[in-house]
Amino acid sequence: MSRYDCIIVGSGINALVCAALLSKQGNKVLVLERNDRPGGCIRTDEITAPGFIHDVLSSWHPLFVTSPGYAELKDDLEKYGLEYCNTDSPTAVVLPDQTSFVLKNSRAGNVSAMNALSGGDGDRYGAAMAELEQSLGLTFTLLGSELWRGATLKVLLSAMVKMGPFKLAQYFGAGLQPARAWLDTTFSSNAVSACLAGWPSHAGIGPDAPASALMAQVIAFTLEMVGCPVVKGGNYNIVRAFQQVIEANGGELQVNADVTKVITGNGRATGVKTRDGSEYRADKVICSVTPNQLYQQLLDPADVPAAVAAQTRAYRYGNGDMQIHLALSEPPRWRAQGMEKVAITHITSGVNAVSRSINEANRGLLPGEATIVVGQPAALDPGRVPDGKGLLWIQLQECPRRIKGDAAGRIDTPEDGAWTEAVREIYADRIIDRLARYIPNLKDSIIARTVLSPADLEAINVNLVGGDPYGGACSLDQFFLWRPLRSLKNHDTPVKNLYHIGASTHPGPGLGGGSGYLVAKSL
């Protein structure tokens, strides 16, 4: 039996940020990971063909490089090899008629380009970004701070004094606006609207959800500010850097250590037990897991109040995710102009198509025309592929966790709703066929492909329940003050000295490390 100041269960971005910060403050930290490597959803492997370096799950780091955790740990991480590659073209959309719009990392350039497509669009976009900037302190406090804290209350009170209660109420009203309403009333150009319409999905909500306009605006602001960086040599290099920071400060990381129980006594967490029977004791235990794992598996039912147990049973997960990884004999040649250096491109016909695909997935259907998220990490980091070759990272965020049918009526689906290898591959064929209309050399240049269905993602990481990459549905009733559960505050649990972090907790999903940072600072 070993004793530590802090034990962290799981080793995703939130756990790594938390462990690095705590160990730097002199705490003896132990990170326990059930898989054979640390990193959670941060993986880099040659999963298609030798020499092609793929970020298997997460890839892009705009949220992390703007996070307070990165600000504090930047020098340490760079000391151990972290380096970013970037582009001046973070995102774009290509419409079915091959019309495209590229959002650059320049406000003036974007305003000008939008005005050129449709007079006034750029000016209205610029006005929306300027309005966001005026309340940026309040917005980022709500999106990135512990909400049940005196410091947050002071920010709200200061905003009320500065703005007045009526204008503050207006701010919150505008913050609840759906993206569709903002896009429809702001932009005449469908290309501009479509470029922004797919981005709320990366925050786990669709364009018809409350607060999705705010998410679209915050993401656009972030992409303008920092681009869409990727880790040079592959996303896993950040895990290696974190591990060295933690170990250099006396911390430990253990893999193949599946925690099966949080040990408690007198209402306090005192340690954990792993599947092989090992026990580790600590003053504090921090779990980067889903609510169902924490309150239905790791804790004794006697330690879980009735309200927490009931809300855990009612906790909902979002749609599943699919990934397609392609190794190409040459870089993709787009029909649309200016796409060669774009980090992330959405293939969609606009906000209605995004909304329809999400609705179909919500009803258990394979979308007939999914929003295709096309990532080009090798365009930013050429060393990921052999000379003259290409690579694509494709994400489909509108997949049902359990399949009830096919919206297009062409794919026979299993009666039990499971994702089989056959369904996975034929659905991927549909996506590749459609993408080939935009990239004429695509099919002939495919050397190898690897497809990961929602079921495959959950098999890789138990936190991806049903393939949901966002740790649970991000609808308003499971967000902000109410994430993960209404009866809990911040990252505290009903058990003293036990804390909850990860995508299922505030400030939610995304590769930013927010919850790990907040808990580390509070301790």
Query: pTM for the complete prediction?
Result: 0.96
Model confidence pLDDT, tens digit, residues 69-89: 999 999 999 999 999 999 999
Give the mean pLDDT of 252-262. 98
For the cut 70, the answer to whether the pLDDT of residue 325 exceeds it is yes
State yes or no: pLDDT of 456 exceeds 90. Answer: yes
- Reported as a single tens digit per residue, the pLDDT across 374-401 is 999 999 999 999 999 999 999 999 999 9
Please determine, for residue 1, whether its predicted confidence score (pLDDT) is greater than 90. no
State the Cα–Cα distance between residues 28 and 82, nearest whole angstrom. Answer: 24
Residue 59 · residue 235 · CB < 8 Å: yes
> 322: how many CB neighbours lie within 10 A of its CB?
25
Mean pLDDT of the chain, nearest integer: 97
- What are 372's strand-pairing partners? 347
Q: How many CA atoms lie within 13 A of 61 on its CB side?
A: 26
Report which DSSP code applies to 450.
E
Q: How far apart are CA 85 and CA 502, in angstroms?
A: 26
Model pLDDT, residue 268: 97
Question: What confidence tier does 335 reach under pLDDT thresholds 50, 70, 90?
Answer: very high
The pLDDT assigned to 358 comes to 98
Cis bond upstream, residue 331 (ω within 30): no
Distance CA 506, CA 522 (A): 14
* DSSP per position, 390-429: EEEEEEEEEE-SS--EETTS-S---TT----HHHHHHHHH
Report residue 281 CA to chain centroid gap: 32
Mean pLDDT (whole number) for 311-325? 98
In whole angstroms, give the CA distance from residue 396 to residue 382.
24
pLDDT band at 2 (very low <50, low <70, confident <90, very high): confident
Structural domains in the chain, sorted by start:
2-42+61-82+233-315+473-522 (3.50.50.60), 106-226 (no CATH), 316-460 (3.90.660)
- For residues 299 and 262, the answer to whether their CB atoms sit within 8 Å is yes
Q: What is the pLDDT of residues 167-193, one digit of tens each?
A: 999 999 999 999 999 999 999 999 999
Contacts of 427 (CB under 8 A, 6+ apart): 322, 366, 411
Please say whether the beta carbons of 121 and 115 come within 8 A: yes
